[in-house]
Amino acid sequence: MLRYIPLVLALVAAPAFAQDLATGDAIKAAVSGNTIQGSMTSSGPYAEFYAEDGTVKGDGYTAAWAIVGDTMCWTYEGAEQDCWGVKIAADQVTWIKDGAEGGTGTIVAGNANNF
């Protein structure tokens, strides 16, 4: 019986975690026309402006962003589209990939870095 407890806990926790994720509409409202700056676990610090036309502007590069269902997706030059769930709490975002937190950021109004 003890060997089933982790499975039961995982099943109970999964719906609660999923409820914390923002909807596609909420993500778009928070991100569009704003800058997010923070840090990703795998790649370190970032700052990007998300233009309303779906363009991402960073320091020396551009890319594309889109909302697909209830995820935010990026397409960088030479890479396939990469989609993440998002937790939003006031001006704070947490990026979620495969059920794990992969980074955080702060939403700053407008194109704060003039990208």
pLDDT at 92 (0 to 100): 98
Name, in order, each residue with C-beta under 8 angstroms of 29's C-beta and a sequence gap of 6 or more. none
More confident residue, 5 or 94: 94
- Using CB atoms within 10 A of its CB, is residue 105 exposed (0-12), middle (13-18) or buried (19+)? buried
Question: Which DSSP category does 23 fall into?
Answer: P
Q: Which domains does the chain have, with CATH numbers?
A: 22-109 (2.40.128)
More confident residue, 89 or 2: 89
**Secondary structure (3-state) at 12:** helix
Residue bearing tokens 């992969």:
102
User: Minimal CA–CA distance to 106: which of 19, 30, 23?
Assistant: 30
Mean pLDDT of the chain: 89
Asked if pLDDT for residue 5 goes beyond 70, the answer is no
More confident residue, 10 or 75: 75
Whole-model pTM: value is: 0.83
